[in-house]
Structure 1
Amino acid sequence: MQRFDFRDWQLTPPTIKIIKTKLPKAENFVLMDIFEAMNEYPDLIKQYFMNKVIKFDENKLTAYHTAYLNQGILLYVPKNIVVEKPIEVELNQDSTQPFVSHILIIAEENSQFSFIQRMKTKGDGKSVANCVVEVVALPNSEVKYAAVDELGKNVTSYLSRRAFVDDNAYVDWSIGLMNEGDTVADFDTDLVGEGAHSEIKVVDITTGDQQEGVNTRVTNYGKHSIGNINQRGVIADKSKLIFNGIGHIIKGASGANAEQQNRVLMMSSDAHGDANPILLIDENDVLAGHAASVGQVDQNQLYYLMSRGLDQKTAQRLVIRGFLGDVLVSIPSKPIRQELIQTIERKLADGQNKTTDQR
C-alpha cells in the first residue's frame, strides 16, 4: 500500500499527544493518531477529513486549522459494531504553543457507540486554540458524543463541532463549555437523510470578563428528520454570553421537526446575556418551535431553600444546578457527569466570591 504523506495536506507534524485513552477490550474499531491514520488509512482520510462534513477552504478559520493542525485522532467504527462501554479521550494543550486539534469520527451503518472527550490546558501562557470535530453518521448508526471543555484563562478559542447524519441515523451531542478564556463556538448538525435525528444539549458558564458566543445550528434536509436544541447558560461577574439557536428546514424536508430552547441565567447585574432563537422555515408540512429567556435566579426558589437552613450562596448554586439539569443527566458516563458537576460548582463559587469582593 502506498503510504500517505501528511505534507501533501500542508500539515505540520504532531507536537501534542493524546495523553489518556480508555478503551474497552475490542479489536473491531480503529482509534489512532490522525497523522498515523493518514498513512495507515489514506483512502478513509481523503474521503472524510475536511471534505464531507467541513470543507478545508470554508473560511479563514478552517484554512488555518488545516494548515497548522498539530494534534488529532481518528475513530472509525465498522458496520454492525456495537461498542458497549464509552470510548474516552483526553487532550491536553501546552499553553506555550497554539492548540490545533482535530477529531474525525466515522460511524458505519448500524454501528452504535458513545464517545467522551476532555480538553484541558496546562500552563498559564497566552495562546490560541482552533479545535474541530467532524462526525459522520451513516444510515441507522447511533453516536452519543459528550465533551467537557476546560481550556485556560489566557487561551482564545474557536471550537467547531459538526455532524453529517444519514438515513435514520442518530447523533446526540452533550457539551459542557467550561473554558476560562474567550470562546467562539459553532455546533452544527446537517440532517441529510430521511428520518435523521439529532439532540444538541449545551451547558455554558462564564465568569470574570469572559466573552463567549455560541452558535448552534440544525439544518433539516431529510424528510421526517428531527433536530432539537437545548442551550443553558449561567453568566457571572462582568462576563458576556450570546446563544444563537438556528433551526433551518430546507424546502422538500416535509414532516421535519425543529425545536429549540435557549435560556440564560444572570448572577450579576454587570453581566450581559442574549438568547436568540432563529427559525428559517422553507417547507409547509413541518413542526417547529422555540423558547428563549434571560433572567435572574428565581427568588421564590431561593427563599424556599434558605428557609430550610441553607445559606444564600449554597441555595443559589442548587437552583442553578437544577437549571442546568437537563443537560447534566444526558451525559452517558457517570464519572464524566460528576466531573462536570464539580467543575460547575467551582466556577459558580469563583463567580460568587468575585461578586462579593466587588461589593
Structure 2
Amino acid sequence: MLWKRIGLDDFGFPDVQNVQSYKKNYIKHGILHSEGVELCRTNKDSKHIELNETGRQNSELISFVDRNYNSGIFLSLSRNVKIREPISVEFNMDGENPVVIDKNIIIAEPGSEATVIIDYSSDDTEKVFHSGLTVVHSEENSVINIIKVQRMNNMSRNLDSNIAVVEGHGKVNWISVELGSDVSGVNFLSILKGEASESVMSSIYLVDGDRRMDLEYSMIHRGVRSVSSIESKGVLKDNARKVFRGNIDFKRGARSSKGVEEEYVILMDPEVKSDSIPALMCGEDVVIGEHAASAGQIDENKLFYLMSRGLSERDAKKLIVEASFAPIISRIPVESLQMLISNEVERRLVNA
C-alpha cells in the first residue's frame, strides 16, 4: 500500500492472525432491547450489505477488516422507529487491548432515525492499531447521523473506511473528528442512489508534530435531485503532512442534483505540507457542482486585533482555531464529547 504524498512509501498491515476479541464493553449508551431495534455486537452471522459499487474506496482495507474484525456493532431499525438518544460506542486501546478491528453495520428501514457516536482513544504508553469499516444503508425517508472521533496517541496507526448507500429521500450525515495517531488514513463514501437522497460530510482535523494524515471523501450521485455537501476544516503545525481528496461524481441519470465541497486549512508553521485535491466528475448535463479549497497562515489582521485586546500571540492563535472548528463541533449532540474534543484541540495547540 502506497501513500507517497504523505511520505509513507511502503506500509504493511500488522500481523493480526492471533488477534483476540476486544475484551472491553464498548457499547456504552444505547437501546439494547426495544421494539423495532436490534443492537448487538457484530458477529459472523450478522446481515451483510452487498455493495456493487465502492467508488475509489480502498478494497484492500475493506478486505482486511472483513477477514480479521474483532469488534463492532450491528444496528437494525424497523420502519418508522426513531431513537432520540445517541448510541455511544467507545473503543479505548491499551496494553491488554492494543488492536481494534471493528466492522459496523447499520440498516435503517424507511422512516427510521438514529445517531451513532464512535470514539477511538488510547492510553499514552502503548503502540496501538485501529482498522475499521462502517457500512450504512439508509432506506427511504430515513435519517442516520454518524459521528466518529479519533484521538489515539502519537505512536498509533489508524485506518478507517466508511460507506453509505442512501435510498430515495434518505439522509446520512457524517461528522469526522481526526485529532490523533501517527499515521491516519480515512475515507468516506456515500452512494446517493435514490431520488432526493442526501449526504453531508462535516470534518475537522488537526495534524501536529511529524504526524501524517490521508483523507478521502467521495459523493457518488446516481439519484435524481440528490444532494451532497463536503465541508472540511483543518490545522497543520510543526512538520505535519496531510493530503485531502474530495470527490463529487455525477453519474448519468443524476439530473438536477447538486454537490458542494470545500476545504479550509490553517498552516501554522512553514515546514508543514498540505495537498488538497478537489475533483468534480460529471456524466450528466443538468447538475450543479461547486468546489473550493484554501490554505494559508492565520490572518494577520485577526491576530493583531486579538492581541491588541490583551491576548498573547499563543492564545490569540488558539482562539482563531477554536472559532474555525466550533460550527462543526457544535453539531455533536453530546456536550461532554464537545468538551473532550475542545480540550484535545487545546492540548495539541498549546502543550504538545
Q: 2:178: which partner in 1? A: 177
C-alpha deviation, 1:89, in angstroms: 1.3
Q: 1:83: which partner in 2? A: 83
Q: 2:155: which partner in 1? A: 154
Give me the whole-angstrom Cα distance separating, in 2, the residues matched to 1:159 and 1:258.
24
Matched, 1:346 2:320: no
Moved more, 257-266 or 341-350: 341-350
Matched, 1:282 2:289: no
Q: 2:42: which partner in 1? A: 34
C-alpha deviation, 1:123, in angstroms: 5.2
Q: How does 1:52-201 map to 2 (within 5 A)?
A: 59-94=59-94, 97-122=98-123, 124-201=125-202
How many percent of aligned residue pairs carry the same amino acid? 24
Give me the whole-angstrom Cα distance separating, in 1, the residues matched to 2:143 and 2:298.
36
Q: 1:248: which partner in 2? A: 249
Q: 1:21: which partner in 2? A: 28
More helix by share: 1
Give me the whole-angstrom Cα distance separating, in 1, the residues matched to 2:332 and 2:18.
34
Cα distance, 1:339–1:264 mapped onto 2, change above 3 Å: same
* TM-score, normalising length: structure 2: 0.88
Q: Is the 8 A contact 2:137 2:166 kept in 1?
A: yes
Cα distance, 1:311–1:190 mapped onto 2, change above 3 Å: same
Give me the whole-angstrom Cα distance separating, in 2, the residues matched to 1:264 and 1:172.
22
Give me the whole-angstrom Cα distance separating, in 1, the residues matched to 2:120 and 2:82.
26
Give me the whole-angstrom Cα distance separating, in 2, the residues matched to 1:309 and 1:338.
25
Q: 1:357: which partner in 2? A: none
Deviations 1:261-316 (A, max 9, x none): 01111111111112221111111100110110010011111111111111111111
Q: Is the 8 A contact 1:178 1:344 kept in 2?
A: yes
Partner of 2:34, secondary structure, is coil
Cα distance, 1:26–1:101 mapped onto 2, change above 3 Å: closer
Question: Where does structure 2 lack aligned partners over 5 or more consecutive residues?
Answer: 1-16
C-alpha deviation, 1:332, in angstroms: 2.3
Give me the whole-angstrom Cα distance separating, in 2, the residues matched to 1:59 and 1:147.
21
Give me the whole-angstrom Cα distance separating, in 1, the residues matched to 2:228 and 2:23.
35
Q: Is the 8 A contact 1:19 1:91 kept in 2?
A: yes
Partner of 1:314, secondary structure, is helix
Partner amino acid, structure 2, of 1:165:
V
Partner of 1:172, secondary structure, is strand
Partner of 2:146, secondary structure, is strand
What's the Cα RMSD here?
2.2
C-alpha deviation, 1:46, in angstroms: 3.8
Moved more, 179-188 or 203-212: 179-188
Give me the whole-angstrom Cα distance separating, in 1, the residues matched to 2:39 and 2:132.
18
Q: Is the 8 A contact 1:65 1:100 kept in 2?
A: yes
Partner of 2:344, secondary structure, is helix
Moved more, 84-93 or 214-223: 84-93
Moved more, 93-102 or 112-121: 93-102
Total equivalences in the alignment: 333
Give me the whole-angstrom Cα distance separating, in 1, the residues matched to 2:215 and 2:343.
22
Moved more, 135-144 or 329-338: 329-338
C-alpha deviation, 1:66, in angstroms: 1.5
Partner amino acid, structure 1, of 2:87:
I
Give me the whole-angstrom Cα distance separating, in 1, the residues matched to 2:146 and 2:136.
9
C-alpha deviation, 1:205, in angstroms: 0.2
Give me the whole-angstrom Cα distance separating, in 2, the residues matched to 1:15 and 1:324.
32
Partner of 2:26, secondary structure, is strand
Question: Where does structure 1 lack aligned partners over 5 or more consecutive residues?
Answer: 1-9, 352-359
* TM-score, normalising length: structure 1: 0.87
Partner of 1:18, secondary structure, is coil
Give me the whole-angstrom Cα distance separating, in 1, the residues matched to 2:328 and 2:255.
29
Q: 1:7: which partner in 2? A: none
Q: Is the 8 A contact 2:32 2:39 kept in 1?
A: no
Give me the whole-angstrom Cα distance separating, in 2, the residues matched to 1:251 and 1:79.
31
Q: 2:333: which partner in 1? A: 332
Give me the whole-angstrom Cα distance separating, in 2, the residues matched to 1:15 and 1:176.
23
Q: Is the 8 A contact 1:33 1:74 kept in 2?
A: yes
Cα distance, 1:149–1:246 mapped onto 2, change above 3 Å: same
C-alpha deviation, 1:13, in angstroms: 6.1
